[in-house]
Amino acid sequence: MTASVLPFSTQPSGFEWLDGEPEFDPAAHLQLEQPAEVLTLDEFGYSAEEIAGTATSVAATSAFRVLSQEGASVMLDTARRLESFAAPNPRIQRSVRSACHRSRWLRDLCVAPEVTEHLCEIYGVDVAPHPITSQLGHMNFAPSEIGTAVDKWHHDTLALDYVMMVADPLVLDGGDFEYFVGTKAEVAALAEQGARPPADRCVSVEWPGAGYAVALHGNMVVHRGGPLRTAGERISMVNGYIATDVSVDDQTRNVDLFHVDEPATLTREWARYAAWRARRRLDLLIDELDDAVVDSSEVVQRLTDATHDVGVAIADLSRTDRPDIHHYEQ
């Protein structure tokens, strides 16, 4: 288990910490339990070849407990205090990004080694909290209009995350967290025809209460926050992780984040993360390139692969245009 691969970045200009917060106490605020069900990507229709380059074969889990009753109460209070920072984006009407630069309690929860180790067990691979800090503690709030989805059908800009219900889901009429049991390609084909994922192939997560989460392979599983049928307090929190095995694809689409995140911090953290992956890959390459490797084209390909993430970062950070945030309801 890797607690963090890079130091948590300094608080961006214009952000202030909430005052009067309790100190995060794992013994009091956590009550980690295993999910009863773990679904795999092959059950969603992905081929062995498609799965091979991803972080894990896990697709989604049933809801499992993360927070104790006391922890869930602090989480809800924290979310309510942060709600004033909610802003719209092309996919979500009311969301709070970079919340871990406003709440020390939330930050400490999102990077807690106890939770990270728990996610390692669930995913079956070594993971670490995402080094791009806006991908930690992201919050979604109910839209102002009844019938508007909390979040459109999409797949995530990162590989791995959990989605936690912060406000009590048992009192809500609607607002279901749903995922499609199928592939991204299937949903893309439906979207081209103006159709949405069919209800008979979608799962609405059953939540025992607040402080429970589902673990997702968010980049591979198409999901959404459904609309409320009557007004209610619907709050969810999403926390992102990376696989520390740099031989697998990063599975990120960071360029989308310029629509929702503070650009200077995003640029710096993205560059650091790309450099970290490249450094790890180059270290491996130093050990792997021995006298048995004589083909110059193979050497060039390995160097290209090792620095791939840096090349992507340079290309995307140099763009003067910003593509729209991707979702399946364009």
| pLDDT digit string, tens, across residues 112-162 | 999 999 999 999 999 999 999 999 999 999 999 999 999 999 999 999 999
Cα angle 154, 156, 161 (rounded to 5 degrees) comes to 130
Q: Are 91 and 151 in contact (CB under 8 A)?
A: yes
Q: Are strands 127-129 and 235-243 parallel, antiparallel or unpaired?
A: antiparallel
Distance CA 26, CA 31 (A): 8
pLDDT score of 298: 86
pLDDT of residue 236: 98
- Please identify, in words, the CATH class of the domain defined by 26-248: mainly beta
Please state the rounded mean pLDDT for residues 236-247: 96
Say what the pTM is: 0.95
Q: What percent of the chain has pLDDT over 90?
A: 88
Rounded Cα distance between 228 and 147, Å, is 6
Q: Residue 3's pLDDT band (boundaries 50, 70, 90)?
A: low
The answer, yes or no, to whether residue 2 has pLDDT greater than 80, is no
Structure tokens that stand for 310 in this block: 């840096």
List the one residue out of 300, 308, 301, 41 whose CA is nearest residue 183.
41
Average model confidence (pLDDT) for the chain? 95
* CA-CA-CA-CA torsion sign (158, 141, 32, 109): positive
Question: In which band, very low, low, confident or very high, does the pLDDT at 294 lie, cut at 50, 70 and 90?
Answer: low
